[in-house]
Every structure is written in C-alpha cells, then in structure tokens.
Chain A
Amino acid sequence: MSQREENLGQYMARRGISRRTFLKFCTVMGSTMALSPAQAAEMAETMAKATRQSVIWLSFQECTGCTESITRSHNPTLESLIFDFISLDYHHTLQAAAGDAAEHAREEAMKKHKGKYVVVVDGSIPMGENAHYSTIAGITNEQMLRDTAKDCFAIVTVGTCAAFGGIPAARPNPTGAVAVSDIIKDKPIINVSGCPPMPQVMTGTLSHILTFGAIPELDHLGRPIAFFGETIHDRCYRRPFYEKGQFAKSFDDEGARKGWCLYEVGCKGPTTYNACANLKWNGADTFPVQSGHGCLGCSEPNFWDQAGGFYAPLSVGDWGSHEVLAGAVVAGAAVGAAAAVAGRSKQKSAHEEKKS
C-alpha cells in the first residue's frame, strides 16, 4: 500500500480537494484561535505536509458527554475532521469495531504511528489499588492509559474529568479517581477542560496540533491559552450590567428577563476561564449565562467542590454556620469576663496594698 505514506496535501489533492481548502480551514481556525491573519497561510503550508493525524481516543470514567460535544462541532465539523484531517483509530462510541477487533485497531494504530499518534482521553482514572473500579477488555484503565501513552506524541485530555479528575474525583472521591496528569508524567499533556469542553475548543486544539505539528501555548493548568486565556466574565455580554450594578436577584425577575448580570444568583463567570462567551455554544449564538443560568465554572479544577455550590454568589464565603459564630460570641464573652474579673481582683489588691 504505497498510498499509506502520502501526506495530507497529496491525500487531499487525490480527492480533488484544492489547497484552497487548507487555506480556508486555516483562515477560519486562525480566527477561532485568535491567531494573526498572516499565520493562516503558513499554517496551510505546514499542514499540507502532514499526514492525517492518528488519534486514539480513550474513554475511562466518563459520561460520553465529551464525545457528544465533539459531534456538535460546527467548525470544523466532526465529519470533516474525521474524513479529511485526522484518522480516529479508536473511539468506543463511534468506532464500528467492537471487542477484540476494537482493541486490535488500537494496537495497530499504535504500532503504525509509533511516536506520532495523539492520545485523547476523556474520563478520570481510578488508580492503584482502586484500578479495578474501571476496566475495559479486562484490563484496568490505568494500565490501558500507560500502555497507550507510551509511544504517543502528546496527550489531549478532553473534559474536566481527564484534565483534573472531574466529578468522579469530587468529594469524597469514592473510587480514588485521578486525572491523566497524575499518572502520565513524561508526555506533553494538553488539558481541554470543560464539562463538556466546547466542541470548537476540542477540534481547535486538535487542529492546532495537526496544523503546526506542535503543542499550543498552554496556561499554568495546561490549557491552550487561545481558548482559556480569558474568563467568561471578561467576554460576557452581560458584563455591562455588572459594571452598572444591575443584577438579577432571582431566576425569573425583571432583571433576569432583561438579561442583567447573574452574579448574585451564583454565576462563576469571573473565575472561569473558557471560551463560551466568545465562541458561543452549538451554533445557537448563546451560552449558559446568556440563556439565563449562571456559569457553573466547569472548566476549572475542583469546580464540583467549590464553596457554597452553584447558586452561592462568588463573593460569599464558605464560612461555616451561625452556630459556630454564636459559639465564638460565647467563648469571647467568657474569656473577656474572666479577664475583667481577674482585672478587678488585681485592682482590689492594689487598693488594699495602698491602705496597708
């Protein structure tokens, strides 16, 4: 099969797809990823020389929401991605093969693209003595991740579970779930967090690897800065109301209907780094805050365990209870009274000393 070695440019050319297609793809990607317009052409040239990127998608302790999300990608579409740009060689939810055949597909891809394939992971992983809480084909997720990651080029974690532990790792983490980065230390890991991540952010990140053959610039949590560089609040269309002090006080008051800021009903936009407010969801020109519910903060680590829950305003502390404060009052009064009583007796003895 001589054609196996052909690069993406040749593959596309053979399909009658012109280099214009690359250019367009790169132009549009450039816009999504906030690259400078001049980089598009350069991207297109690089990309033409690449082979279709082999991608192995591993699903562990997950809910399949991340996969569902990527099927909603408008730009590029999933079908364009899997037909034109990547080779999705293993993906439970989408692949035709099952059982042993599926596992063979993974092994073949690993062998053939040794050192070049990208591993996408969704779901957290129960580690060590808890590993038996999730198995596939009789082997533990931890083992499968280690085996598959060994010869990869990079790992892209999609979803907050794979990136940071997510819901399985939420208190009290009954299955001892951990993030990919807790297990794999020797490979570049790109965290595409979100519950689920935005489709464009997943496809955009994959496209970046595809077009530049390199890891995009990452923030301190390993997330691509192009998508996670700003908070929801920074780009929220309701931000002007925040500035004006106009807040919805409940979910269905006048303020809510007028689109006022949802800070007071618990929006976590100010501390959540994600692209929802500028890319918008599902091609519907909206995102959670716009639809009326506060941001849950789903692209941040530990968002499941954040203080006060989803409806406590961000500025409200998780400060215990009134009972605790009442206890503090009692304790304070007791100590203060004791101090005063001791002080009085001191004064009294001073007085008597004087008399004597």
Chain B
Amino acid sequence: MAERVVVDPITRIEGHLRIEAATDDAGNISSAYSSGTMVRGIETILKGRDPRDAWAFAQRICGVCTLVHGIASVRSVEDALNYKIPQNAQLIRNLMIGAQYVHDHVMHFYHLHALDWVDVVSALDADPKKTSELAQSISDYARSSPGYFKDVQKRVKELVESGQLGIFANGYWGHPAYKLPPEANLMAVAHYLDALAWQRDVVKLHAILGGKNPHPNFLVGGAPSPISIDAGATTGGAAGTALNVVTLNTIRSIIQSMQQFVDQVYVPDTLAIAGFYKDWFARGEGTRNFMVFGDLPEKGMDDPDSFFFKPGVILDRDLSRIEPVDLNDPEQIKEFVSHSWYDYSTGKDAGLHPYDGETELNYSGRGGPAPPYKQLNVDDGYSWLKSPRWRGQAVEVGPLARVLMLYAQGHEPTRELAGMALKKLDAPIEAMFSTLGRTAARTLESKLVADQMMNWLDIMVANIKAGDLKVHNEEMWDPKTWPKEARGVGYMEAPRGALSHYIVIKDGKIDNYQAVVPSTWNAGPRDPENVAGPYEAALQDNHSLHDAAQPIEILRTIHSFDPCIACAVHVNDPDGEEVVKVKVR
C-alpha cells in the first residue's frame, strides 16, 4: 500500500462525505472507503410523534431532494393505514416528483458535477464566436450568440481578475484531466449560469402546489393544495388558493420550459461533454447489480401496473432477467453494521430487516477515531451509514438502475432515446455500466420524465373539468379512526434512487420509524463479507490518480452518483428506548 488519499470534505454534494482511497505505486486505487461523517438522529426524533407530522421531519432529512422524504413519509403512513388518496392528489405528487427530477438532475449536472469536467479558467481562452458556432451546432437553444458568450466570458474574467474567485477558488484548474476545449468550457459555464436562473422558475411549480421550495408541504391522505375554481380565485385576492385555472396554466408553461431546457441544453451538453471523456465510459462501474422500487403511478400506489417506473432487480448486468422486489420481505432487505458506528444486539455481523432494525450509536466503541483525526479505522466501523443488502447482494440504485430497468423492460421511448445517445457517442449499451454512463442515464431520465409530466397535467385538468376537485381524503384524517397498531412502508424512486420509509404506528403515535435511502444503498460501507458498496466498488474500478493532491478522478465517480449523505445517515431505534450511548475515548 503506497498511499492513503483522503478527500474530506467531498464538496458539491449534499451532506458530509469522506472518501479514503488506498493507492498502489502506480497511483491506481486498490481499495476505497466511503464514510458519512455526520449524524442527526432524525428517526429517533420522530418517535412518539403524530404520524401526520412525520413528513415534515422526514423531509428535513435532505434539502436537496427536499420532497422525496416527504412523499415517502406520507406514503408510509398511508400504507400502514390503508389510506386511499384521490387521483388528483396522486397526480399532484407526480408533477412535484417530476419537477424534482428534472430540477435536481439539471442542478446536479451543472452546479455539482460539471466542474469535474469543465475548467472554468480555461473558458477565458475561448473564442466567443467559435463557442457560438459550437453551441449552434449541437442545439437550437436561443441563447447562443457570440455576444452572449462574450458577456459570460467577461463576467468570469472580471471575477478571476478581481482576485476573489469565491466558489471557484482553489479548483483543480489546469489539471490535465480536463479535456474540453476552451469553447466547450465557456459554453458549459454559460449554461451553469443559465441553469441557475432556469431552476428558479421550475421550483415555482413546487411553490404553487406546496407553498414553497425547498421543503414544500405535503399531507397524509392527499395534497394540501385545494383547487379553486371560484370566480375571483385567480385575481390574487383572498377568494381562492394558489392552485387555480391561472396557475394550472403556469404549471403547463413550467413543464414546457423544463422540456425545452432538457431538450435544448441538458441533453446536448451531456452528449457534447461526454464526447470528450469517452474513457470514463470504461471505469467506475459499481456492483453490477441494480434495483428499482418503482414510482410515478398514474392511478395509485396500489396499482403498480400504472407506475411509470416499475420495480425489479437486475443482477450481474443481466438485462434479460428481472427479479421481483418485496420491501416487506425480511429475506430480501437487510441492513448491516459491521463497518458502521452502530451496535446490534444480535452481533455486528448479523443483518436486520428495517422493521426489526435497531440502532445504538457507538462511535468510540466501534473504531471511530477521536477528532481531529487523519485516517479512519477501516477494519472496524468507519461510517455513520449502514450497509443495506438485497438478498445479500450489494445493489446500485438511481438513474442508471432505472434507465437500465426501463430498457430491460422494453420501454420503447427509453430504448429509442438510449439508442440515439449511444449512437451519437459511438458506445455499446455496456458503456452505461460506468461513471459517465451513470451521468448520462440521469440526463436521459430527465427527458423521459419531463415528457411524461404533460400527460399527468392533462389527466388532472380533465378531472377538474369533469368536476372532480378532490385533492384530499378526509376519511382517515382523525387518528381516532385508526387501528391501534399498524405498520407500513412508503417507497418511491427519488432522483438518487430507491427510497423506503418504514413506520410502525401505535395508539396514533409513531412507535418506530426508519428510512432506508438511496445513498445508503450506494454509499454504505463494506458488509460483513467485506463486499464493497457501489461507491467503493466504483472507485476500485480502474481508477488511477494523476495527482494524489488533486484527486479529481475520485470526485468524478463519486459525483456521478449524486451523493446525498444527510439522507443516508440515520438512527433507528425500534425498541422504544433511548439507546443512544455516548462513549468518549
């Protein structure tokens, strides 16, 4: 073992992630360790509370995916109580999820991921005219005049010359891993700014339906956005709510703007940038296994046939076989803590299904080094994340899993779109099993979802036209109508992958709550068999560091997963006792 490379903080992600990678003499990563270094204990906090309030707590697990935990949470309560929601509410949720996908993926690409591929400083050398030609050659996006790019370039130049680079300070500018010509860099920087402005409009959809973004509001039993069709409801006066004929039109135009941006900017940029980094189609494959829980129902969660994303597991890259998933099956889903800072009463190597899960924080006792520290103790616990496994297998979740699943299930638009993209990049389907494949899958998925949204809006408008204004089912709102005891699981496909919230309700209060989230599947540490999770496996796949002091390679692969670590770190405590044990040294 020649060197241990430590990247902490991993920036441009959500949450606190630390990567430690051991490299051999040639600079190749031989083993990588992914660690979540922050814990809040939201599930412990949720215990004893009103299940109807849970969404707000769960939602604060993450402010980037901001709505996914809210939705998984209300679904878990609805599943536990067998609480049916009106179709309009389902469609409103779909629209919000759809907007979240497109918004989140675009922001991830431009604001979190792009700087791994785009050298901002290099953009200063670009010729705006040539940039304009480049832009126009790949897309008919309106903002592509030489003057426009000149302005952007000037703006960046002023920033650099001011000596205060701000967020661009200390980037690995000039690193040989940056391969884009200056013009492509300039185009990407311009779109970085464009995307920032564009996303503000997209979130209006969340504001209309949920009151604000981040953290829009949800409601167990439906949606908290009554539809006002009264005369006067649309004048901005008091006689109505935010959801009315005028704002339905606004939503339509927001969807159009999303489609437009994806078609004209996001997809072309992805393909253009990927074209310069084809070697990244050959590294960063994770565990070869992929899992999808399914989501975006047209009718209801009890009708998986109406899902846009259908569930399943793909093992060992085999797209011809799809294994069924059952979230309630203790044989299928287990979480392990053999390398986490937690204790299990059954021993550190046993796995537990979330319903039976337990959590006892034990930082010091499980090998956590006393801060300040230089290095994790990877032989014992080294993360606040647990390691979930599906039938003992480490599986990857997220856009790549979903796109592969759609592809494997023969979804025509997906096959067409993927075919187009792969053809343009001159790559086989196997190229998808890679760092860049993951990034590309995110782009493709955005287009698929954006195109689907108009369909949901049309159904909702048809319902309203037919007089169906219902967005909330009042029947089971009152906890007195609930059974004494109930448990359920709320699942969804978050932008980052399969998400599930497990809830146990007793006497109208939360008895146990836990979230098994996408980044736990992806970023979790090794399991008892020492099998690496997707992050670690991907880093161990064909990565060599050009300069250990500037480990941009690690960032590229890690960012391709779009890490969201606050989500992944959790505490669950099903025994009804305070079991937080704090041992210092």
Q: Does chain A touch chain B in the assembled complex, meaning CB atoms less than 8 Å apart?
A: yes
Do A282 and B12 have beta carbons less than 8 Å apart? no
Residue from B45, B203, B217, B229 within 8 A of A172 (CB atoms): B45
Q: A296 vs B217: C-alpha distance in the bound complex, in angstroms?
A: 9
Q: A230 vs B233: C-alpha distance in the bound complex, in angstroms?
A: 26
Do A67 and B154 have beta carbons less than 8 Å apart? no
B559: nearest residue on chain A (CB-CB)? A98
Interface-centre pick from A63, A101, A293 (highest chain B CB count, 10 A)? A63
Do A170 and B45 have beta carbons less than 8 Å apart? yes
Give residues 69-109 of A contacting B (CB, 8 Å): 69, 71-74, 77-79, 82-83, 86-89, 91-105, 108-109
Q: A138 vs B371: C-alpha distance in the bound complex, in angstroms?
A: 6
Give residues 126-185 of B contacting A (CB, 8 Å): 154-155, 158-159, 161-173
A237 at the interface (CB under 8 A from B): yes
Do B40 and A168 have beta carbons less than 8 Å apart? yes
B8: nearest residue on chain A (CB-CB)? A137
Contacts of A287 in B (CB 8 A): 207, 211-212
A236: nearest residue on chain B (CB-CB)? B238
Do B163 and A65 have beta carbons less than 8 Å apart? no
In the complex, identify which listed stretch (B46-54, B257-265, B528-536) lies at the interface while the others stay far away.
Answer: B46-54
Interface-centre pick from A64, A71, A285 (highest chain B CB count, 10 A)? A64
Do B15 and A195 have beta carbons less than 8 Å apart? no
Do B172 and A97 have beta carbons less than 8 Å apart? yes
B236 at the interface (CB under 8 A from A): yes
B224 at the interface (CB under 8 A from A): yes
Do A98 and B14 have beta carbons less than 8 Å apart? no
In the complex, identify which listed stretch (A32-40, A54-62, A328-336) lies at the interface while the others stay far away.
Answer: A54-62
A4 at the interface (CB under 8 A from B): yes
B196: nearest residue on chain A (CB-CB)? A79
Q: How many residues of A contact B (CB 8 A)?
A: 110
Q: A105 vs B370: C-alpha distance in the bound complex, in angstroms?
A: 25
B373: nearest residue on chain A (CB-CB)? A138
Known A-B contacts A288-B212, A310-B52; A167 and B225 likewise in contact (beta carbons under 8 Å): no
Residue from A68, A286, A292 within 8 A of B224 (CB atoms): A292
B347 at the interface (CB under 8 A from A): no
B256 at the interface (CB under 8 A from A): no
Contacts of A140 in B (CB 8 A): 371-372
Contacts of A62 in B (CB 8 A): 63, 566
Q: A240 vs B237: C-alpha distance in the bound complex, in angstroms?
A: 11
Closest CB of chain B to A59's CB: distance in Å? 8
Q: Tell me the A residues contacting B by CB distance below 8 Å.
A: 1, 3-4, 6, 11, 14-15, 52, 54, 59-69, 71-74, 77-79, 82-83, 86-89, 91-105, 108-109, 124, 129-141, 143, 166-168, 170-177, 195-196, 237-238, 240-241, 248, 250-253, 256-259, 276, 281-293, 296, 304, 309-311
Sample (27) of A-B pairs whose CB atoms are under 8 Å apart: A63-B62, A79-B197, A89-B167, A95-B11, A96-B120, A98-B551, A99-B8, A101-B170, A101-B550, A124-B40, A132-B370, A133-B39, A137-B9, A138-B6, A140-B371, A174-B571, A251-B224, A251-B471, A251-B472, A257-B230, A258-B233, A259-B238, A286-B242, A288-B210, A291-B207, A292-B211, A292-B243
